[in-house]
Chain A
Amino acid sequence: MGGLYRSASLADCQDTADAAWDAGVRYFDTAPYYGYTRSERRVGAILDGRRAFVLSTKAGRLMVPDAAVGADEDGWVSPLPFRPVYDYSYDGILRSFDASQQRLGLIHIDILYVHDIGRLTHGDRHEHHWSQLTDSGGFKALGALRQGGQVGAVGLGVNEWQAVADAMQAFDLDVTMLAGRYTLLDQTSLPVLDACKRHGNAVVAAGVFNSGILAGTGKFNYRDAPAEIVQRVTSLQACCDAHGVPLPAAALQFPLAHPAVVSCVVGARSASQFRTNAGWLEQDIPAAFWRDLKARGLLDASAPTADEQS
């Protein structure tokens, strides 16, 4: 709903949400950053009047009015005129939450994730932002929201597992959204997932198509896919073909086999795309497929797979 790479009309968004709701989907995720606040507004409108859903949003970027915001920023097409400014401090988190409440039209938000904290996003500014979370009270703000009942659960929403490992040493996380790091192409986060399980930090798997390449587009980690990734995907596809399994179905179902993973979130820009996703989720995948993936060296041998569960 934020308009990543292509814009989606409000009508399409309504249709997609209706299709998802009718199919039984009840967990919705957004962030102030998506579409530079457009996504939260749309999600708020769509959920208005509905009940018994779970909603997550994120904090860590304040969206500051800026008339200079152009037609294509950070991959967002036609974003709203608010520019993101990183602020993980106590005040920053609370102000972001306040603004989210207003945009979503909700005073209680089920899950609040600290958005994109970590070296991958911040490079050499990482220490500064990390210290905002720890010393300047960002985690304290999350705790206050949780304790005060405005938020049901808190955690991180990130693309890197290291930040999750570090955060678990500073704060009691309820739930974490980990994007792109537990997928058919990338199981480097396995040790952290085990730690999450032990600490009661529920994991929501996101970016399971690694920005699209596992669903048939050319994108990997928000960029055009490099040659070696394309090669790996070709090998994965070959294994899929041998067992009659659609690659996106395997990509969608794989993370759910890990005991730490409680949910999988997938974007969709149309009702038909949603229904395609749902079909992949329900696809029967033979046990032999997962065994073959491991035998071909295409999957970490210690990654839990559906064939191992009773």
Chain B
Amino acid sequence: MRIDSHQHFWRLADRAGQWPPPGLAAIHRDFAPEDLLPALRAGGVAGTVVVQSLPDLAETQALLALADRHPFILGVVGWADLKAPDAAGAVASLALHPKLRALRPMLQDIEDVRWIDDSALDPAAAAMREHRLCLDALVRPEHLPGLLAFAHRHGDIPIVVDHAAKPDIAAGACDGWRRDMAALARHPNVRVKLSGLLTEAGAGAGAATLRPYIQRLVEWFGFDRMLWGSDWPVLLLAGSYDAWLSMCLDLIPEAAHDAVFAANARSFYRLDEPVPR
């Protein structure tokens, strides 16, 4: 049975005009568990990891409440202000929830591309380490050097790079992405999510467009450090849940399916551990 390592839920009423904007019509509506369950069933996906999408503690708490009510939600990636004076306390407090597994500072939206390379994060990082929380890196290629510095400094915090750092597939700009992803991949504690790439490739992109990117990711990380995720509902901007899952199942050799579509998410997020450490 498969695990979707990356998906979101939201209610527009709770977002007070924040992303997504009305212009992204396909995703400018509420998305709740009942909207996702049919696709999960059709795809043989038994569980998911729900991921925050607002820099807001209240949103994380709402997601944790959803996880309480829905057994298919195996883990939650939340948010805290990791540079706040009481960051360590906030992290510890969130970590009390049995399904909280990782934190995701929304680096792609922060003006300072090196925000993550900062000793001011040390108290939060220590708390994450103590509570065995992972880091989800929501980054674009320009954030990778900073992330690399964080990975050097905090080598024992497991990191996963969401959406393979969003290479600009449509425009094709590649060199910084290649250089920096190769460097990150040399850290054994860094993994990559096979998610979001259809969105980067744009409308009409197919397997042929993505194949060289996925081939390169496999070269750097191997199948053992790759986690499949849908990035639903954002995925709907580019294609359907089923189409993305099928494409990935085709592009990844069958022998690696259990790892990429289930086992790696389970081990990275420690989804089999029902209670906190």
Contacts and interface: CB of A to CB of B under 8 A. Distances in A.
Contact of B215 (A171, A197, A199, A200): A171
B219 A200 contact: no
B10 to A, nearest CB: 34
A169 B219 CA distance: 16
A168 interface: yes
A199 B212 contact: yes
Contacts of B213: 172
Contacts of A172: 178, 212-213, 215-216, 219
Nearest to A143: B219
A200 B212 contact: no
A200 B211 contact: no
B195 to A, nearest CB: 19
Interface in B185-242: 208-209, 211-213, 215-216, 218-220
Contacts of A174: 178
Interface stretch (B33-41, B62-70, B92-100, B167-175): B167-175
A263 B131 CA distance: 53
Chain B interface mostly helix, strand, loop or mixed? helix
A170 B172 contact: no
Contacts of A103: none
B174 A200 contact: yes
A170 B214 CA distance: 10
Contact of A169 (B171, B172, B174, B208): B208
Interface centre among B171, B175, B212 (most CB of A within 10 A): B212
A85 B173 CA distance: 37
B174 A143 contact: no
Contacts of A144: 219
Q: How large is the interface on B (under 10, 10 to 19, 20 to 34, 35 or more residues)?
A: 10 to 19
Interface in A151-179: 168-174
Contacts of B172: 197-200
Interface string B139-163: 0000000000000000000000000
Contacts of A280: none
Contacts of A199: 172, 174, 212
Nearest to B209: A169
A200 B178 contact: yes
A310 B212 CA distance: 34
A121 interface: no
A208 to B, nearest CB: 25
B212 A147 contact: no
A174 B213 CA distance: 12
A243 interface: no
Interface in A97-151: 139, 143-144, 146-147
A122 B179 CA distance: 35
B175 A169 contact: no
A198 B178 CA distance: 14
Contacts of A147: 219-220
Interface centre among A146, A173, A199 (most CB of B within 10 A): A199
A166 to B, nearest CB: 10
B219 A146 contact: yes
A143 B173 contact: no
Interface string B117-136: 00000000000000000000
A200 B173 contact: yes
A200 B177 CA distance: 10
Contact of B212 (A146, A169, A197): A169
Nearest to B173: A200
Interface centre among B171, B218, B219 (most CB of A within 10 A): B219
A172 B217 CA distance: 10
Nearest to A196: B172
Contact of A143 (B175, B178, B215): B215
A168 B175 contact: no
A138 B216 CA distance: 14
A169 B211 contact: yes
A148 to B, nearest CB: 10
B220 A170 contact: no
A200 B211 CA distance: 15
Contacts of A171: 211-212, 215
Interface in A179-202: 197-200
Given A170-B215, A200-B174, A200-B175, 9 more contacts: A147-B220, A169-B208, A169-B209, A169-B211, A172-B178, A172-B215, A172-B216, A173-B212, A198-B172
25 contacts: A143-B216, A144-B219, A147-B219, A169-B208, A169-B209, A169-B211, A169-B212, A170-B212, A170-B215, A171-B211, A171-B212, A171-B215, A172-B178, A172-B213, A172-B215, A174-B178, A197-B172, A198-B171, A199-B172, A199-B174, A200-B172, A200-B173, A200-B174, A200-B175, A200-B178
Q: Which 6 pairs show the lowest CB-CB distances between chains A and B?
A: A198-B172, A200-B174, A172-B216, A169-B208, A172-B212, A143-B219
